[in-house]
Structure 1
Amino acid sequence: MAPGHWRWTDDTAMALALFRVLSAHGKVDQDALAAEFGATYTADPYRDYGATMHEVLAAIHSGQSWRDVARRQFDGQGSWGNGAAMRVAPLGAWFADDLDELLVQAGKSAGVTHAHPEAITGAVAVALATALSVRGVDNADLLGEVAQRLPESEVRTGVLRATKIAFGTDSRNAGATLGTGRRISAVDTVPFALWCAARHLDDLVEALWATAAAGGDVDTTCAIVGGVVAARTGLDGVPPEWLAACEPID
């Protein structure tokens, strides 16, 4: 185990911001979420935010409309990155009893910073997986149940591809097929992360080790996997020494 405090990153910072908005409003108030993201970023911008998010969150905090900021990224296409997916697990747990409402709220949570349909679908997929995890779905059924609720998209195609990879497959081989976030897109990140989560749905430690073993954008893939699996196992699934090593959160 690495010595010293394990520093949390932008994944955690934005998930906490989303949770604060859910706690205050009971749903995704997009204006409030944008303000929370901007304030969180400005208070501590050194959490390994991606280059695009530095620009987006600084612009939002300066008073620019989040709608305009999100839509103008990448020549007007909007970002199809994995940031919306990495932070959405708390929302999936929050709306676990109402999957129809979850679809709406997860899309809203993504749209504040990511206007591209693939990024939004990636966030919806992770939220669905988290909700199904909480509801006790069997690991063999998780990926298929997520896919059937997604719109036609590259993310959905990736999740369907993941259903065909046996859980006995080495995670490095699965990552080579599905992508491990090296392209920093939802398409290249979400299917693999959900495969790892489904593979170890009742064992947080094994899920994280399998995810990390494949390399790539490890803090993001592990954030997604951790969110999906820990929503089911709770803190009892986290080794005490890991909790002691983690940087404290207010």
Structure 2
Amino acid sequence: MNASRPDRTRRVANAARALHGLALGDAFGQQWFFYRGTEATERQARRIAPEAELWHWTDDTAMALSVLRILHLRDDVDQDALAAHFAASYTADPHRGYGPSMHGVLRAIHEGEPWREVTRRQFEGQGSWGNGAAMRVAPLGAWHADEDLSHVAAEAERSAATTHAHPEAAAGAVAVAIAAALATRGRDEPAQDPVAFLTEVARHTPESDVASGIRTAARLPAGSSVRNAVSVLGNGTRISAPDTVPFALWTAAHHLDALDDALWETARGMGDVDTTCAITAGVVASRTGSADIHSSWLTAREPVPGWVDTGGATSAGRT
């Protein structure tokens, strides 16, 4: 890609599409924790939207907002600033569904402990390989879409390291960021074949269980059911990057031109459904935006800050 810095207005618009999609997927997916068994299956089969008047988003969106805020202010990932923003956002609103380990990580960072030490001591020194680094990163991929994909991957790894020290978590973040970058680049072209799309994502993902899972997703027979895909790829039940990212990218790859279809198919996989829907929608919306989504969904989704669309152009947004 062009070595010069891309136009800022274009960056802001690209990332905003991803963020709005991610927040919609997160909020939509979160609603399915209130429906179980036959009721959830029947509503999804008939495409009956959740009944809640307000679909709250979770830590997936809260942390994605932190990533985007730092990109607006720095263009690239400033790890110290990002870790501090994560911790401050958590402290201001800790009831967004953060995972048990993340409560400890973000409290410790907020209290002044160096983030590198905090993240590296998780899980007996292995670091977390959870899906948190992947769930929040689609806006970063869209932001850097006009740059070389090696830069997208490097920035995704840097964003992951602030909370997740395990290589699998970093690989999950890279895969989602690459997918969002590819989706953004292809906005004015016919959608890539799902196999080609997934193969390209895997090619830029560090060798890992995540990359292996994405290659497996690319090999699933055309017409495979969601149930079959979940049985092979997982659905986030283990809250790990390898158990989450391949399935979310499989549904995204098969619905690159239809955000609503992508969300319904991903929700049918259940599991960690807010996170799988957030990942899928962040990628697909990088290409489609949210214009074709029913207005009632957009009204129901909890709003996101106005600076998402402006890039913090106002003095208030720069605070």
Q: Same fold (TM over 0.5)?
A: yes
Smaller-chain TM-score bracket:
over 0.9
Shift of 1:114: 0.3
1:133 corresponds in structure 2 to: 183
Q: Distance in 2 between the 1:237 and 1:193 partners?
A: 20
2:279 corresponds in structure 1 to: 224
Shift of 1:167: 4.0
Could you say what the CA RMSD is over the residues aligned between the two structures, in angstroms?
A: 0.9
8 Å contact from structure 2 (residues 183, 286) kept in 1: yes
1:122 corresponds in structure 2 to: 172
Bigger CA radius of gyration: 2
Return the letter of the residue paired with 1:157. Answer: S
Deviations 1:195-216 (A, max 9, x none): 0000101100000100010110
Give ranges in structure 1 of 5+ residues lacking alignment: none
Deviating 4+ runs (over 2 angstroms): none
- Alignment partner for residue 36 of structure 1, among 85, 104, 124? 85
Q: Distance in 2 between the 1:58 and 1:238 partners?
A: 37
- Alignment partner for residue 178 of structure 1, among 224, 233, 240? 233
Deviations 1:142-184 (A, max 9, x none): 1000111122211111010001113411112101110000011
Give ranges in structure 2 of 5+ residues lacking alignment: 1-48, 306-319
1:59 corresponds in structure 2 to: 108
2:251 corresponds in structure 1 to: 196
User: Percent identity, aligned pairs only?
Assistant: 60
Q: Distance in 2 between the 1:40 and 1:232 partners?
A: 28
Q: Secondary structure at the match of 2:108?
A: helix
1:212 corresponds in structure 2 to: 267
- 1:60-209 superposed matches below 5 A: 60-98=109-147, 99-136=149-186, 138-140=192-194, 141-209=196-264
Which moved further from structure 2: 55-64 or 131-140? Answer: 131-140
8 Å contact from structure 1 (residues 167, 199) kept in 2: no
Do structure 1's residue 237 and structure 2's residue 286 form an aligned pair? no
Q: Secondary structure at the match of 1:184?
A: coil
Q: Distance in 1 between the 2:296 and 2:123 partners?
A: 42
TM-score if structure 2 supplies the norm length? 0.77
Q: Secondary structure at the match of 1:189?
A: helix
Return the letter of the residue paired with 1:72. Answer: R
